[in-house]
Structures are given as structure tokens and as C-alpha cells.
């Protein structure tokens, strides 16, 4: 189970890539979700999510049966307990046992000024009671419900990320990042669009309320920046930032409303001694020139795109990952799946700066052919040697 | 980060004035800096 030599290799290959050196082999990351692990271990997905203590067996099974250099269970960030306590409208349990994120618009277009004037106050006093029905009550009840929700959050997300996952990383000898060096944040515009205004309304705001958006962005920037700098920044770990809206906006709007804040956050994290890992959701090909201006060794996880163009434009300065299509693991033959991995390695691995990962998180067992997934992970372990 | 919901040590010590006990400063600075930061992070996470 634990192999000291393999553990040391994992530490060295990540530290090499993260610091601009060519590693012994390409590090392998596989973003398999908690939901996948529950299904794969044969547990009931509805029931298991209410029992954090039962997750360990599920995570062990995935850790033992799928090769990766990081613990192949990620995304332990959403469990139903907290959302049910709060009466959530933003995350609702679906009939298949997965928390779904419906489009919500708790903030009105004419409220940008209030958000800009006092972001935390507006979130706490106005938005949270609209998003979470159980908080729409007296201050006394609200404080008790918040305390219960915070306990549920720590019993689930806190336990997973603070106790269980680090324990398994150590026990199995996966890559271990320095303590306190990870974080997560968002670009102000995404923060507004995702769950304040919603995709549809925000898309209209870009044309009708541009000045208001700029003011709200400016007010949120120090808060998002503060959230993104971990307690102990380190080049060997990262602040994760899922990026959402630019592929759905005009380039000139992105240049005005989005990229300056994104660049500032990434630069501040870099200046603090950390590193940003940007998950470029959907198609970012028209922004490669913009991305080329960011700090060296920033991690770009691409969902879509031309691997050769990405390598040519960003390969010398940055760390590229993603791009491997999860969909192929479902529809392709084993040889087709391996051929695609080989194609990506031949383009992206030369000269370093490449971490193998998929284009999307693998969230259900039926979204891939399990044999194909295992075959690809085993193949890249050998093929990625420099 | 100072907001209207979270006290700074300066605000807290002014409220407590000269009644601060031995050990209170060290403990409360940790609460005000770390625990309040954690709660602010939780609040922000609720709409992420």
C-alpha cells in the first residue's frame, strides 16, 4: 500500500513541475468526486452523504484501484446536511442523489449600489435570507440556524478536507502539499454572476449596468483577494479558482470587466509566495494572449482547446493540465482512449510544465467506462517518463 | 478583515477596558483573527 520510493517520487515530480523544472515523469492528477467514490464502493448515494464516517471506506477503494499521484478523490465541498438545515435554494438534492445547482437570481439589478457600498453587509443581511429560506426569520433564530449550519459544514467539508483526505494522502503516500498552503477564491464578476444575479440576468446586466458591475467588482476585489491568499502560501500548492463567465462574454467586455481583477488576484497570490490554479471552464482559446501575461508557473486547467496552440503560446512559461476528454472514456475503445492520452502527452509533455488531468471532474461511475479509466491512468504512468 | 460584524482587538480591548485578565489578550486575539476569518470565509462560501 505505502511505498516510500513512490511517495518521494511523487513529492519530487510535483515540486519540479510547480517550480519550472522538468520532472522525472509527468505528474498524474485525477479529479474523481466524492459522489463517484460512493457509487463505486456500492453505497447508497442518498444515505452515504449523511454519514461522513462511512466515506473512508469509499475513498480507500478509489485510492487503491485508480493510479494517480494525488489522492484521486477531490471536490469534497458539498454535502446535503448544511444545505437542508439552511433551506437552500441554490443547491437542491436531485432525484438521482446529486446536489443540483438551479439558476437563481436573489439580487435585483437595482441593488448593485448596495452590494458595492457594503458587500459583506449586503450578503449577510439581504442575500443570505433570500437564498436560504431558514435564515429568513428573526435574528435570534437566524443566529442559531447559522450555528447549526456551520457545525454541519465542519462535520462534512471540514472533516473531509481537514482530517480524512490528509490522513489518506499520508497513509497511501500520495503527494502532500505543505500545510495551510491551499485556498479557493473567485473573480468578483463570477461571484456576482454565479449566485447573485444568475447567468441569464447577468448577461443582460453586462450591457445595461456596466458601470454598476465595475463598482461592485471593485468592492468585492479585496474580499476575494483576501480569501484567495492561504495562511501559509507556498509554490508547491495552489489557490484554486474556477473561472466561469468569459467564454460567454464579448472579448472587449472580458477585457474591461474581468481580466484586470483576475490578473490582480493571480499576481497578489504570486507575490504572497503562492500559486493560482485556474480552471478555465468551457473554451478559453480566444484568451490565450491574455493568459500569457500572468505570473510564471501559474497552473491552467483547460476544459476545451487546441493542445498544440496552447503549448505553443503558454508552454514555456506555465503549467498546463486538463484537456483529456472524459466523454471519450465513456464512448471510446480502450485503444482510442490510450491513443488520445498519447497524443496529448506528445504535444504537452516535452520540456515539462504538464500535469495530466481530465477536462472535467468525473462525477458518476456511469459517465465513464471504468476499464478505460484504469487503462488510461496506468498507461500515462509509464508513458509520461522523461 | 474588519467588518461591522467582527471586532478588532482594538475594539474588543476598548470595550473591556481595564478588566482584561491574564491570558485573555492572547486567547482573544486568536479568536478575533482566526475564528472570525474562518466565519467570514464560511459566509462567503455560502454563495460559491
pLDDT (mean) for A108-131 = 97
Confidence of residue A77 (pLDDT cuts 50, 70, 90): confident
Model pLDDT for residues A85-97, shown as the tens digit of each residue: 999 999 999 998 8
Model pLDDT for residues A151-161, shown as the tens digit of each residue: 999 999 999 99
pLDDT (mean) for A369-386 = 97
CA separation for the pair A353, A234 (Å, rounded): 18
Lowest mean pLDDT among A226-235, A236-245, B25-34: B25-34
Say if residue A163's pLDDT is above 70: yes
Q: Do B5 and A124 touch (CB under 8 A)?
A: yes
Say if residue A165's pLDDT is above 60: yes
CA A104 to chain centre: 21
- Is residue B37 in a domain? yes
The pLDDT score that the predictor gives to residue A347 is 98
- CA quadruple A154, A160, A161, A166: dihedral, nearest 10: 140
Return the residue of B nearest to A88 by Cα.
Answer: B46
The pLDDT score that the predictor gives to residue A71 is 97
Percent pLDDT > 90 in chain A is: 97
| Class of residue A285 by CB neighbours under 10 A (exposed 0-12, middle 13-18, buried 19+) | middle
Helix (H, G, I), strand (E, B), or coil: what is residue A276? Answer: strand
Collect all residues of chain B within an 8 Å Cβ-Cβ radius of residue A86: 46
Say if residue A183's pLDDT is above 90: yes
CATH 3.20.20.210 is right for the domain spanning A4-383: yes
The pLDDT score that the predictor gives to residue A219 is 98
Collect all residues of chain B within an 8 Å Cβ-Cβ radius of residue A123: 43-44, 47
Residues of chain B whose C-beta is under 8 A from some C-beta in A? 1, 3-5, 39-48
Nearest Cβ partner of A128 from B1, B41, B46? B46
The pLDDT score that the predictor gives to residue A294 is 98
Q: Domain span at residue B28?
A: 9-45
- Is residue B4 in a domain? no
The pLDDT score that the predictor gives to residue B2 is 52
Helix (H, G, I), strand (E, B), or coil: what is residue A87? Answer: coil
- Residues B9, B29 contacting (CB under 8 angstroms): yes
CA distances from A250 to A212, A254, A286, A302 (A): 18, 6, 10, 19
Query: Sign of dihedral through CA atoms A113, A115, A117, A123?
Result: positive
DSSP bridge pairs for A355 = A321
pLDDT (mean) for A325-337 = 98
pLDDT (mean) for A125-134 = 98
CA separation for the pair A296, A304 (Å, rounded): 22
| Class of residue A56 by CB neighbours under 10 A (exposed 0-12, middle 13-18, buried 19+) | middle
The pLDDT score that the predictor gives to residue A74 is 85
Question: Looking at CA atoms only, how far is residue A276 from chain B in angstroms?
Answer: 18
Q: Which residues contact A342 (CB under 8 A, 6 or more apart)?
A: A379, A383
Domain positions in chain A: 4-383
Model pLDDT for residues A12-52, shown as the tens digit of each residue: 999 999 999 999 999 999 999 999 999 999 999 999 999 99
CA separation for the pair A197, A107 (Å, rounded): 5
Q: What average pLDDT does the structure give for chain A?
A: 96
The pLDDT score that the predictor gives to residue A291 is 98
CA A217-A223-A225 angle, to 5 degrees, is 90
- Residues A355, A322 contacting (CB under 8 angstroms): no
pLDDT (mean) for A347-361 = 97
**Number of independent structural domains in chain B:** 1
Q: Which residues contact A49 (CB under 8 A, 6 or more apart)?
A: A38, A79, A80, A81, A97
CA distances from B11 to A199, B2, B14, B28, B41 (A): 40, 10, 5, 12, 21
Q: Are strands A239-243 and A354-355 parallel, antiparallel or unpaired?
A: unpaired
Q: Do B43 and A191 touch (CB under 8 A)?
A: no
Q: Do B47 and A124 touch (CB under 8 A)?
A: no
Q: Are strands A92-93 and A99-100 parallel, antiparallel or unpaired?
A: antiparallel
Model pLDDT for residues A207-222, shown as the tens digit of each residue: 999 999 999 999 999 9
- The secondary structure of residue A242, as a DSSP letter, is E
The pLDDT score that the predictor gives to residue B36 is 87
pLDDT along chain B (48 residues), means of 10: 78 90 93 88 95
- Residues A79, A46 contacting (CB under 8 angstroms): no
pTM value?
0.95
pLDDT (mean) for A273-294 = 98
Say if residue A270's pLDDT is above 60: yes
Amino acid at each position: 500500500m505505502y511505498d516510500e520510493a513512490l511517495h518521494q517520487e511523487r513529492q519530487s515530480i510535483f515540486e519540479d513541475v510547480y517550480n519550472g523544472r522538468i520532472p522525472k515523469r509527468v505528474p498524474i492528477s485525477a479529479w474523481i468526486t466524492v459522489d463517484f467514490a460512493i457509487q463505486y464502493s456500492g453505497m447508497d448515494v442518498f444515505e452515504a452523504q449523511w454519514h461522513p464516517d462511512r466515506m473512508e471506506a469509499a475513498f480507500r477503494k478509489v485510492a487503491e484501484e485508480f493510479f494517480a499521484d494525488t489522492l484521486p478523490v477531490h471536490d469534497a465541498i458539498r454535502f446535503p446536511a448544511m444545505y437542508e438545515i439552511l433551506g437552500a435554494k441554490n443547491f437542491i438534492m436531485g432525484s438521482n442523489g446529486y446536489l443540483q445547482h438551479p439558476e437563481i437570481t436573489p439580487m435585483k439589478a437595482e441593488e448593485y449600489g448596495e452590494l458595492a457600498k457594503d458587500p459583506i453587509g449586503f450578503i449577510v443581511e439581504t442575500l443570505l435570507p433570500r437564498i436560504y429560506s431558514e435564515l429568513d426569520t428573526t435574528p435570534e433564530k437566524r443566529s442559531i440556524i447559522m450555528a447549526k449550519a456551520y457545525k454541519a459544514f465542519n462535520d462534512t467539508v471540514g472533516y473531509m478536507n481537514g482530517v480524512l483526505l490528509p490522513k489518506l494522502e499520508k497513509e497511501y503516500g500520495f503527494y502532500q502539499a505543505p500545510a495551510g498552503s491551499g485556498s479557493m477564491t473567485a473573480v468578483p464578476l463570477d461571484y456576482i454572476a454565479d449566485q447573485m444575479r444568475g447567468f441569464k440576468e447577468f448577461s443582460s446586466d453586462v450591457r445595461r449596468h456596466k458601470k454598476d458591475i465595475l463598482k461592485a467588482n471593485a468592492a468585492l476585489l479585496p474580499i476575494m483577494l483576501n480569501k484567495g491568499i492561504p495562511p501559509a502560501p507556498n509554490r508547491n500548492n495552489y489557490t484554486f479558482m474556477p473561472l466561469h463567465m468569459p467564454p460567454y462574454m464579448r472579448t472587449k467586455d472580458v477585457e474591461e470587466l474581468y481580466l484586470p481583477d483576475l490578473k490582480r488576484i493571480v499576481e497578489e497570490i504570486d507575490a504572497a509566495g503562492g500559486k493560482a490554479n485556474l480552471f478555465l471552464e468551457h473554451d478559453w482559446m480566444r484568451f490565450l494572449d491574455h493568459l500569457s501575461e500572468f505570473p510564471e508557473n501559474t497552473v491552467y486547467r483547460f476544459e476545451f482547446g487546441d493542445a498544440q496552440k496552447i503549448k505553443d503560446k503558454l508552454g514555456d512559461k506555465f503549467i498546463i493540465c486538463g484537456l483529456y476528454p472524459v466523454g471519450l472514456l465513456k464512448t471510446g475503445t480502450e485503444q482510442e482512449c490510450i491513443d488520445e492520452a498519447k497524443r496529448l502527452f506528445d504535444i504537452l509533455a516535452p520540456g515539462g510544465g504538464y500535469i495530466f488531468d481530465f477536462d472535467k471532474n468525473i462525477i458518476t461511475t456511469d459517465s465513464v467506462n471504468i476499464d478505460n479509466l484504469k487503462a488510461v491512468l496506468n498507461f500515462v504512468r509509464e508513458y509520461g517518463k522523461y | 478583515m474588519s467588518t461591522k460584524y467582527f471586532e478588532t482587538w482594538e475594539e474588543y480591548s476598548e470595550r473591556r477596558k481595564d478588566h482584561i485578565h491574564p491570558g485573555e489578550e492572547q486567547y482573544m486575539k486568536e479568536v478575533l483573527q482566526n475564528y472570525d476569518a474562518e466565519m467570514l470565509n464560511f459566509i462567503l462560501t455560502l454563495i460559491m
